[in-house]
């Protein structure tokens, strides 16, 4: 995996800017990838992201902002973020529809790969039925991934349990960014569809998103190195 698109993106989800910078400084040299999400972005904004990026300028960044709105609004948001912050990855919600995704793709800087969220890993079949989807989770993810590919995006965020089906239906070059990754014995917390790093890679994941098993460890850099070492 190239330096620009590393295997692991470590999720730095905190409301403490200095802690985010400290964690990034420790972890980025090991994993090469850092994910910043909504909690961080809503508290510190683009300036906070820039501050973290300055801590590890050579790292690859995934901004997990999950845009979902009318096409023009999402296109404008994607344009601003991709041009000003230049993350390696940025995402939208596939459930926003093909027109929204196409507008976002057209507005996205060429140096940023745009991907789409299918079904959140905190949801299972009972949850999506309550929302109103008639499909099972797996079928709905596959449908949304096909729509994402049709819209021209680089790939999707999906759970580990959909990797094999999506790799078969969407091909080898379709990016599969997989959260809900938990090393053996780790607490699942609020994730319902999880898998170990080795299992996810064997099924065809492109990137793994790992947060608390690294960031909550007494030595985050060592925890990241241990996970990477287990994949060799």
Instruction: Identify whether 66 is a catalytic site residue.
Output: yes
Catalytic residue among 4, 21, 35, 66: 66
Q: Which residue has the tokens 């995006």?
A: 153
* Residue 23 backbone phi and psi in degrees, to 5: -65, -45
Residue 191's SS3 state is coil
- Kindly state the helix (H) or strand (E) to which residue 202 belongs, with its residue range: helix 197-203
Task: Determine the Cα–Cα distance for residues 15 and 63; give it in Å rounded to an integer.
Answer: 16
> Of the candidates 80, 41, 34, which has an alpha carbon nearest to the alpha carbon of residue 57?
34
Output the CA–CA distances (angstroms, integers) from residue 209 to 130, 134, 200, in the order listed.
27, 28, 11
Active site residues: 66
């Amino acid at each position: 995996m190239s330096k620009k698109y590393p295997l692991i993106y470590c999720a730095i989800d905190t409301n403490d800017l200095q802690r985010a910078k400290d964690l990034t400084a420790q972890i980025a040299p090991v994993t090469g990838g850092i994910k910043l999400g909504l909690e961080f972005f809503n508290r510190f904004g683009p300036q906070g992201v820039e501050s973290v990026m300055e801590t590890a300028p050579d790292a690859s960044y995934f901004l997990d902002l999950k845009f979902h709105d009318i096409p023009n609004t999402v296109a404008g948001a994607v344009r601003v973020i991709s041009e000003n912050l230049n993350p390696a990855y940025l995402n939208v919600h596939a459930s926003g529809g093909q027109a929204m995704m196409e507008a976002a793709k057209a507005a996205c800087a060429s140096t940023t790969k745009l991907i789409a969220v299918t079904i959140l890993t905190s949801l299972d079949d009972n949850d999506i039925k309550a929302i109103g989807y008639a499909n099972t989770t797996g079928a709905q993810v596959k449908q949304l991934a096909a729509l994402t590919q049709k819209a021209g995006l680089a790939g999707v965020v999906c759970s580990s349990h959909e990797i094999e089906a999506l790799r078969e239906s969407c091909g080898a070059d379709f990016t599969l960014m997989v959260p809900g990754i938990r090393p053996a014995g780790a607490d699942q917390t609020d994730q319902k569809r999880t898998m170990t790093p080795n299992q996810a890679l064997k099924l065809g994941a492109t990137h793994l998103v790992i947060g608390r098993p690294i960031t909550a460890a007494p030595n985050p850099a060592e925890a990241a190195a241990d996970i990477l070492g287990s994949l060799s």
